[in-house]
Amino acid sequence: MQKSLVAIALAATFTAAAPSYAQQKYQPEYRLSTVLGTAFPWGKGGERWAELVKEKTQGRINIKMYPGTSLVAGDQTREFTAIRQGVIDMAVGSSINWSPQVKELNLFSMPFLLPDYRALDALTQGKTGQDLFKVLEKNGVVPLAWGENGYREISNSKREIRSPADMKGMKFRVVGSPLFNDTFTALGANPTQMSWADAQPALASGAVDGQENPISVFTGAKIAAVGQKYLTIWGYVADPLIFVVNKKVWDGWNKADQDAVREAALQAGKEETSMARKGLTAADGSAYKEVEASGVKVTRLSAAEIAPFKEMTRPVYDKWAKTIGPALVKQAETDIAARK
């Protein structure tokens, strides 16, 4: 009798200590949304996250990536809503694309707020980044890590851009955020919002003269092949990426697997950021040379040349600071000023 009681007690102890995997109702597969595929750092980051999650959870969590925001028929601005609704389980998403639903994410698109990578890191890795994650949590998703699409540079088929006057009257494809409309209008250009799927044929046909995107997108999408002969490096905004999980999906995982998914996101985010910055530093400018090798004239603006662009867009900055939240903008400015 005593032996039986001991056996029962040991079994109970083992059951309590064992991971509760069997109690969790895991899906056979989880849907991960990205805008770009694996030809770009963005897509590689999503792919790497899926690989690491499978490895760290011993195959309990399997992820299938859906590039091209195909789960929302390519409509990038609907992605965040689809995550909240459960149409999408996980995403590596753009702060720009989610800004229509989360106004605070417009912070990164404030013209000329971020002068360098250290400034961007000061936001994503500092108090500003923590505050933004709290905002996202209140909006029904679980944010885990930061990645990077990159600084958005401007190209066109008409002429070299060295001053705002060079942009006057030109048609530029911009992303679906009113802030971009305001910025390009302030500089005398004619902004046209369209999805990336529509942008390339529009550039090829001459329906629009130019576009703005990170260098990795310029080279990966072979934008030089659709008549974009001039590229200006002006670093007017940066586009961080955010690794998130739908709240209901997250709550369906046990603590050990939640920790594993978070660790995987942090690691994938660091790797993806390194890929996005490759060839774009003072020590390694190989990405710019790759663009020049495709027959494109690359113009790098000095601080003095950037000053007029910054001055002309200051009213846009001040207007959107009120929309984003003065306290958050002030925190961001403080983080940037204190960067090392």
| Last residue in a domain, options 258, 277, 296 | 277
User: What integer is the mean pLDDT of 184-191?
Assistant: 98
In this structure, the answer to whether residues 204 and 112 fall within a common structural domain is: no
pLDDT at 38: 96
Q: Which residue has the higher pLDDT, 8 or 282?
A: 282
User: What integer is the mean pLDDT of 218-237?
Assistant: 96
The percentage of residues in the chain with a pLDDT greater than 70, rounded to a whole number, is 93
Candidate from 14-18, 43-47, 167-171, 172-176 with smallest mean pLDDT: 14-18
In this structure, the answer to whether residues 85 and 101 fall within a common structural domain is: yes
In this structure, the answer to whether residues 270 and 292 fall within a common structural domain is: no
Count of other CB atoms within 10 angstroms of residue 310: 16
In this structure, the answer to whether residues 157 and 228 fall within a common structural domain is: yes
User: What integer is the mean pLDDT of 274-297?
Assistant: 95
Tell me: pLDDT of 147 over 80. yes
Q: Are 174 and 181 in contact (CB under 8 A)?
A: yes
pLDDT at 196: 81
Q: Are 145 and 266 in contact (CB under 8 A)?
A: yes
pLDDT at 176: 81
In this structure, the answer to whether residues 316 and 167 fall within a common structural domain is: yes
In this structure, the answer to whether residues 266 and 292 fall within a common structural domain is: no
Candidate from 7-11, 47-51, 313-317 with smallest mean pLDDT: 7-11
Q: Which residues contact 177 (CB under 8 A, 6 or more apart)?
A: 96, 99, 100, 106, 109
* Residue 72 forms part of a structural domain: yes
* Residue 294 forms part of a structural domain: yes
Strand ranges for 157-284 from DSSP E: 171-174, 190-193, 210-213, 230-233, 238-246
Confidence of residue 282 (pLDDT cuts 50, 70, 90): confident
Tell me: pLDDT of 28 over 80. yes
* Residue 219 forms part of a structural domain: yes
User: What integer is the mean pLDDT of 230-245?
Assistant: 98
Q: Are 57 and 260 in contact (CB under 8 A)?
A: yes
Total domains in the chain come to 2
User: What integer is the mean pLDDT of 149-176?
Assistant: 97
In this structure, the answer to whether residues 164 and 204 fall within a common structural domain is: yes
* Residue 4 forms part of a structural domain: no
Q: Per-residue pLDDT tens for 118-138?
A: 999 999 999 999 999 999 999
User: What integer is the mean pLDDT of 62-88?
Assistant: 95
pTM for this entry: 0.90
Average pLDDT, the chain: 92
In this structure, the answer to whether residues 256 and 307 fall within a common structural domain is: no
* Residue 18 forms part of a structural domain: no
* Residue 131 forms part of a structural domain: yes
Per-residue buried b or exposed e for 29-51, using 16+ beta carbons within 10 Å of the residue's own CB? ebbbbbbbbbebbbbbbbbbbbe
| DSSP β-ladder status, 190-193 and 171-174 | parallel
Q: Are 209 and 158 in contact (CB under 8 A)?
A: yes
In this structure, the answer to whether residues 301 and 202 fall within a common structural domain is: yes
In this structure, the answer to whether residues 259 and 298 fall within a common structural domain is: no
* Residue 332 forms part of a structural domain: yes
Confidence of residue 243 (pLDDT cuts 50, 70, 90): very high
Q: Per-residue pLDDT tens for 290-324?
A: 999 999 999 999 999 999 999 999 999 999 999 99
Residue 201: CATH number of its domain: 3.40.190.170
Domain extent for 195 = 153-237+284-337
Tell me: pLDDT of 51 over 60. yes
In this structure, the answer to whether residues 43 and 192 fall within a common structural domain is: no
Which residue type, as a one-letter code, is found at position 207?
A
Tell me: pLDDT of 8 over 80. no
Confidence of residue 24 (pLDDT cuts 50, 70, 90): low
The percentage of residues in the chain with a pLDDT greater than 90, rounded to a whole number, is 87
Which residues are registered as beta bridge partners of 147?
241
In this structure, the answer to whether residues 199 and 249 fall within a common structural domain is: no
